């Protein structure tokens, strides 16, 4: 499956951490921004850390938006967005006041925390998720699992049917999404030990 699973490289991802987890599961994943390789893939992972606006600039500069739209929206290939990669699927973000890929009717907002002694921003560390609908992405994962988070901004869907999981951090926020072939997680499964590896395995085997 070496060329069947691609990890999109747009200069802002934790690509090697994701690739390492794939290898541990017995799968190969190609790190690439080559449209030809992306077009041949069966599944796509879009990781990411950093600034939303800069990420969209990089995707445009590397001519990745059109090929991603074609593969995801037209060919309906499964894609997993991780952290910033999930946020890029939204219509827009307050971070840089920038338009996103617009695959999900949503905006990305900064945490508005009242109790800043108890709830720090950036939200960093382990936190539970609550599953809100059935999904093959979560097969074999126990109720209220803990995943590892590192983020300052969070997803806000305009269509609640897109929400897969929520997490409490002073208030509820969206921690995973799913619409058809589009999957996104705000947490880092590649840093979430066995549960994270199970989620990645589930995505590969969809």
Active-site annotation holder among 71, 95, 178, 190: 190
Torsion sign across C-alpha atoms 46, 47, 53, 59: negative
Active-site annotation holder among 15, 123, 151, 188: 188
What CA–CA distance (Å, rounded) separates 150 from 122? 7
Active-site annotation holder among 83, 95, 151, 165: 83
What CA–CA distance (Å, rounded) separates 178 from 119? 27
| Catalytic residue list contains 165 | no
Q: What is the biggest distance separating any 2 CA atoms in the chain, rounded to whole angstroms? A: 49
Q: Is 70 exposed, middle or buried (0-12, 13-18, 19+ CB in 10 A)?
A: middle
Beta-sheet pairing, 43-46 with 79-82: parallel
Tokens 């590892």 belong to which residue? 148
How many residues does the structure list for the chain? 206
Residues with Cβ < 8 Å from 159, sequence gap 6 or more?
Answer: 104, 105, 106
| Catalytic residue list contains 190 | yes
Nearest in space to 158 (alpha carbons), one of 111, 110, 105, 108 = 105
| Catalytic residue list contains 42 | no
Helix axis angle for 15-24 and 193-204, nearest 10°, is 80
Q: Is 125 exposed, middle or buried (0-12, 13-18, 19+ CB in 10 A)?
A: exposed
Catalytic residue numbers, as ranges: 83, 188, 190
């Amino acid at each position: 499956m070496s060329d069947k699973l691609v990890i999109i490289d747009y200069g802002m991802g934790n690509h090697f951490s994701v690739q390492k987890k794939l290898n541990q599961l017995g799968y190969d994943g190609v790190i690439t921004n080559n449209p030809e390789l992306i077009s041949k893939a069966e599944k796509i992972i879009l990781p990411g850390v950093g600034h939303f606006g800069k990420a969209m600039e990089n995707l445009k500069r590397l001519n990745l938006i059109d090929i991603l739209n074609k593969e995801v929206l037209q060919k309906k290939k499964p894609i997993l967005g991780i952290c910033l990669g999930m946020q890029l699927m939204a219509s827009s973000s307050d971070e840089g006041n920038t338009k996103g890929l617009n695959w999900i009717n949503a905006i990305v907002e900064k945490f508005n925390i009242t109790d800043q002694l108890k709830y720090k921003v950036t939200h960093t560390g382990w936190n539970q998720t609550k599953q809100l609908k059935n999904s093959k992405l979560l097969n074999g994962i126990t109720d209220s699992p803990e995943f590892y988070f590192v983020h300052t901004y969070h997803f806000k869907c305009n269509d609640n049917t897109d929400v897969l999981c929520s997490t409490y951090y002073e208030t509820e926020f969206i921690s995973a999404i799913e619409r058809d072939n589009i999957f996104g997680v705000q947490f880092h499964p590649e840093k979430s030990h066995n549960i994270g590896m199970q989620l990645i395995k589930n995505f590969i085997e969809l």
